[in-house]
Structure 1
Amino acid sequence: MRYRLPFRPFRPRRLPVTQPAFRLDADAVEVLDSTAAFRIRLLALIRAARSRIHIAALYLQEDEGGQEILDALYAAKAAQPGLDIRVFVDWHRARRGLVGQKKHAGNAAWYQAQAALHEASVPIYGVPVQTREIFGVFHLKGFVIDDTVIYSGASLNNVYLDKLGQYRYDRYHLIRQRDLAQAMSAWMTGMLSANPAVRRLDQPTLPDPAHNNRIRQFRAQLEQSQYALAGSTLSEGGGLSITPYLGLGKRNRLNRLILQLVEETSEHLTLCTPYFNLPTLLEQAIASLLRRGRTVTLIVGAKTANDFYIPPDQPFKSIGALPYLYEIRLRRFARQQQTAIDRQKLHIRLWQHDHHTYHLKGMWVDDRYQLLTGNNLNPRAFRLDLENALLIHDPDNRLQASREAELARILAHTSRIDHYSALETPHDYPPKVRQLLRRLGPVGIHRLLYRLL
């Protein structure tokens, strides 16, 4: 008997005609064209900072790229003692080693060692979204430097910064908007820094029996929290604008926004995700679009461009099966929608560029909306992790040139799937992958994809 998750039909409400938004000038939005450009610009902004540097990322890694960022932060603090610097990363991720690595103290030990070398203080906060990493992580994104926001799904290490000749491709938007910067900064300093569940990682921490209870209370607060939009206006009547969103837990405000954007697509939807495993509601919304004759483009990383991919000539670890699980899911979706592919209504494009990896997320809806987000658009993002996004409303198509240029860069390293059979089946996979898939079985694979990945 096939395993099925319980399902309750849900139809998203339409986007309100008016919604709070910050006015935006077209020349205040810059799309950086490469991973290296992201690193160079981020370092330049850190060096030039005068009032604040507030960084939210999944992790700041102990490697050459992470060291360059941390060195720049300490140098900025030494040059400007009054500079407010705060870094927020996931609590659990910072206190363990890399996946597959033996027991390790994690990045937290490095943060503390670096702090001991400097007189200046650069607080690094560990944000716990759940009592265990498997049940939810701090996946918030955004770098607020003075009145500028750099928004990207990237974390901070060698591949996300293109430090040693290999890059993990993401989106990189630089937005100069004082009210947006203030809203994101105020939420980080007020909601995160001040909460007793959030602990400093650059300082030694003692065991605390009450910490798990504080985390549970903190998660409940996060589920109800949103950015304060002081200085915003209503978007009715047109004009370029931007609105920040937060989301944690089922059917949160960000999840509803994503479903609403898909539901209201009138002509064309473009969607990027590195790990193809759409939540049931999102997959159904896309299928509904296709039935109504809309055009959908899905830009997905090839399995060899997945950050968990292990080449067959290297020692296999169980985590290396993930790219194959995502391909199984993509092949199944393509098979179900082959008619739409044949009719040129569904375009599935696989990104692959040499030995580099792919980490793009986001949506483009008609020529009207762009969603910048770190949300992987998978069940884990919709249920477990703390996510955020920036919705750009562009009714007058003021950002057409930058939008088209960004999409052209993304598509440059993609190939189109004309038939689902172009994707491999488990029979084609390396022996150890096939062995693991057999051990999991159909029910185990289904549960893993829909509940955790």
Structure 2
Amino acid sequence: MPSLFKRSLLPKLRSFPMSADAISILSSAAQFRQCLLDHIASARQRITLVALYLQQDEAGQEILDALHAAKAARPELEIVVVVDWLRAQRGLIGAGKQPGNAAWYQAQTAAHSSEVPVYGVPVQTRELFGVLHLKGFIVDDSVIYSGASLNNVYLHKFDKYRFDRYHVLRNKPLADAMQRFVVEDLITTKAVHRLDVPQLPSTRSLRSAIGDLRSSLKKAAYDTREATTGYFGLSVSPLLGVGKNNPLSRVICELIASSQQQLTICTPYFNLPLPVTREINRALERGVKIDIVVGDKTANDFYIPPSEPFKVIAALPYLYELSLRRFAKKHQRMIDSGLLNLHLWRDGDNTYHLKGMWVDDRYTLLTGNNLNPRAFRLDLENGLLIDDPRREWLEPRRQELASIFAHTRRIESYKILETLEEYPAAVAKFLRRVSRVRIERLLYRIL
């Protein structure tokens, strides 16, 4: 269809041709953990792990031990771990004062003869206003792409898991492009420093360098000189985004605008940016069937049972549910008609972290982007857009969607979602206070 955007990016994207058998979808967090460990053990040239954090716990230790073992066995291996600078230097939210993962990285480097450098990327001077939210693990010529970070629950090390998406794309030019960005646009800049060595510079001393890095990232893009344009076959396009009106955000809106029959959206935190809401409304008006899958509030990674002491962070799942309820109420007519389908995901005590889009039978977006204002303006995000104009990859795609919907229930009416009056007393009290001082709108912009 003709583009609805004056400066459309979608038709101009450069892409790397793929074969259908070069893309694998992993079905579970445990399978993802084993896949990552197997790739690390068999690596021959390079390993680059990029995640929000590598946690000091049993699963994190397993990953770091595997990296050191691979480096000891093959000293010529190029190994790099990249995490968020600020996230690595604080403890878990709500757990009190802790030294953070950086102290663990330093102890691990001191304890091993092999070297596995861990770099911290400061996207902003304060974590609240932007973090490294890039995804993708590059091992030789493969890209293992997931929204997951590296810890016990994301890797299903014990009894609980956090459900995400897990894809393996075997494509050397794609792996090269993603590796080149990490090396040339991140770790060689003045703002980025190793976290696994002592005497880290203060974030304050890096303020100027961080400003320069953020400015350069707003203009950065993956090197796609080896990619093609106008290729009418299965292909993948890597996308970057940070700041207002960035390419990834623009493509997300264009994808929704291009939908004609079916659109599926996954997000763990229901807090859609205005441009996304606007395009969803337009798609409904032209008769597109839309499925939106979000986590039940109890499946949110910030959820704390009412039986436990209240922490401010525990209000977030309820804030997202209120947003979902307002959206459902406004669109109840579309829900009744079956054109709009809102689904809540829940599987026992496990949590939900899926994000991404499926557009008609053609486009599939893999991304860590939460489709919220924070992702559209503050964090450094990326995504892989799979274009399948010949319908070569429909069955794996269908199977992935079936696995996602397996633990969902459809919201028949906005009335089944709880109201403020039904929330635990401490949560309701906090949310009323937030509403009274009129900072609720600000919270939606940064959370």
Q: Which range, TM-score by smaller chain?
A: over 0.9
Aligned to 1:222: 217
Spell out the pairing of 1:27-426 with structure 2 (5 A cutoff).
Answer: 27-208=21-202, 210-236=205-231, 238-426=232-420
Distance 1:12 1:332, change over 3 A: farther
Deviation of 1:207 (Å): 3.7
Given that residues 235 and 388 in structure 2 are in contact (C-alpha distance below 8 angstroms), is that contact kept between their aligned partners in structure 1? yes
Distance 2:10 2:245 in 1: 17
Deviation of 1:17 (Å): 3.6
Q: Deviations over 1:53-90 (max 9, x none)?
A: 00110000000010000000000000010100000000
**Runs of 5+ consecutive residues of structure 2 not aligned to the other structure:** none
One-letter code of the match for 1:94?
A
Is 1:446 equivalent to 2:429 in the alignment? no
Given that residues 12 and 256 in structure 1 are in contact (C-alpha distance below 8 angstroms), is that contact kept between their aligned partners in structure 2? no
Residue 16 of structure 2, aligned match among 17, 22, 28: 22
| Secondary structure at 2:86 match in 1 | helix
Distance 2:71 2:268 in 1: 35
Aligned to 1:433: 427
One-letter code of the match for 2:345?
W
Given that residues 35 and 161 in structure 1 are in contact (C-alpha distance below 8 angstroms), is that contact kept between their aligned partners in structure 2? yes
One-letter code of the match for 1:51?
Q
Given that residues 84 and 120 in structure 2 are in contact (C-alpha distance below 8 angstroms), is that contact kept between their aligned partners in structure 1? yes
Distance 1:375 1:16, change over 3 A: closer
TM-score by length of 2: 0.97
Deviation of 1:284 (Å): 1.0
**Runs of 5+ consecutive residues of structure 1 not aligned to the other structure:** 1-9
Distance 1:301 1:344, change over 3 A: same
Distance 1:12 1:57 in 2: 34
Deviation of 1:231 (Å): 1.5
Deviation of 1:13 (Å): 4.3
Distance 1:400 1:129, change over 3 A: same
Given that residues 363 and 388 in structure 2 are in contact (C-alpha distance below 8 angstroms), is that contact kept between their aligned partners in structure 1? yes
Deviation of 1:15 (Å): 4.7
Given that residues 235 and 241 in structure 1 are in contact (C-alpha distance below 8 angstroms), is that contact kept between their aligned partners in structure 2? no
| Secondary structure at 1:126 match in 2 | strand
Deviation of 1:97 (Å): 0.3
Q: Deviations over 1:268-303 (max 9, x none)?
A: 110000000000110111011111211110000000
- Paired-residue identity, %: 55
Given that residues 14 and 264 in structure 1 are in contact (C-alpha distance below 8 angstroms), is that contact kept between their aligned partners in structure 2? no
Corresponding residue pairs, total = 442
Given that residues 263 and 289 in structure 2 are in contact (C-alpha distance below 8 angstroms), is that contact kept between their aligned partners in structure 1? yes
Distance 1:96 1:354 in 2: 30
Q: Deviations over 1:79-138 (max 9, x none)?
A: 010100000000000000000122211000000001111011000000000011011000
Deviation of 1:233 (Å): 1.2
Given that residues 112 and 201 in structure 1 are in contact (C-alpha distance below 8 angstroms), is that contact kept between their aligned partners in structure 2? yes
Deviation of 1:260 (Å): 0.3
TM-score by length of 1: 0.96
Deviation of 1:18 (Å): 4.7
One-letter code of the match for 1:211?
L
| Secondary structure at 2:439 match in 1 | helix
One-letter code of the match for 1:37?
Q
Deviation of 1:205 (Å): 2.7
Q: CA RMSD in A?
A: 1.2
